[in-house]
Every structure is written in structure tokens, then in C-alpha cells.
Amino acid sequence: MSNTDIVLSFIKAWENRDTQTILDTLTPDAFYHNIPMDPLVGTEAIKQFVAPFLETAEKVVWEVHHIAENDQGTVLTERTDNFHLAGGKKLSVRVMGTFELKGGKITHWRDYFDLAEFQSQMA
């Protein structure tokens, strides 16, 4: 399985709202930086962020517009992450994601997005 396939499986786990599979795709000491927020290190810290968010989502769809893998196995994604929340609220966040992998697991995950755009949708 290529690193691109692993990242696509990771995205599918988000769409399935499957927190455990998301965490299983990461190394135990994974680094997640949802830029411009503070970074998280380790699956327990990542779980504390991911699980409550997924619990409030009724549907998750990550549209992958472009995906590329370089010779070192780093995978880049250009996406729109869509979250359908309880009460009919919908969030659409444009994201550029970077995934570094080792041994078939994600070691570093960085998502770059416009925080103001996200916050305006949360209001």
C-alpha cells in the first residue's frame, strides 16, 4: 500500500467518523499541527481533539481536489473538509494538508487553513 493509499484510508476513516481507525493510522507519538492552532503530540492528545469534534458531526465529507506523493513518501493534499453538524450547521474548510509517514503510519500531519473563515462559519 502506497503512502497515498494510507492517507486516502485515513480520510475515509474521517468520513466514517471512526476515531479509532484514525488513531490507528498514526504512530503513538504522532505530531499533529492544525495550523494556526497549537500542535498536538501523541495519539491521546489527538484523540482529545478529534473525538469530540466527530461526535458533534452527523456527516463528514473530505473532498480531495489534488493529492501528490514525493520521492520521500510525503503526501500533500488539497482538500475541502465538509462537516455537517447537528442542527443543520455545515462547515466547509479549505485545507492544504501534509502527511509524513514511516512504516505505514502517519508520523507528522499538518493542516493549513484560514482560521477566520472557520470561525465565521462556527458563529
CA–CA gap between residue 65 and residue 78 (Å, rounded): 5
Which residues constitute the domain of residue 92? Answer: 3-122
- Of these residues, 18, 29, 38, 81, which one is catalytic? 81
Q: Which has more pLDDT, 11 or 114?
A: 11
Task: State the residue for C-alpha cell 481536489.
Answer: 65
Q: How many CB atoms lie within 10 A of CB 81?
A: 22
User: Residue 17: which pLDDT band, with cuts at 50, 70 and 90?
Assistant: very high
Domain total of the chain? 1
Residue 43: is its pLDDT beyond 80?
yes
> Residue 84, by phi and psi: left (phi above 0), alpha (psi -120 to 50) or beta?
beta
Please report the pLDDT score of residue 118 as a whole number. 83
Q: What are phi and psi of 2, to 5 degrees?
A: -75, 165
- 111 in catalytic set: yes
Residue 123: is its pLDDT beyond 90?
no
Please report the pLDDT score of residue 53 as a whole number. 84
Percent of the chain with pLDDT over 90: 85
pLDDT, mean over the chain: 95
Please report the pLDDT score of residue 8 as a whole number. 98
Q: Per this entry, what is the length of the chain?
A: 123
- Of these residues, 5, 18, 71, 111, which one is catalytic? 111
- 81 in catalytic set: yes
> Residue 87, by phi and psi: left (phi above 0), alpha (psi -120 to 50) or beta?
left
CATH classification of the domain holding 86 = 3.10.450.50
User: Residue 1: which pLDDT band, with cuts at 50, 70 and 90?
Assistant: confident
**Burial of 90 by CB count in 10 Å (0-12 exposed, 13-18 middle, 19+ buried)?**
exposed
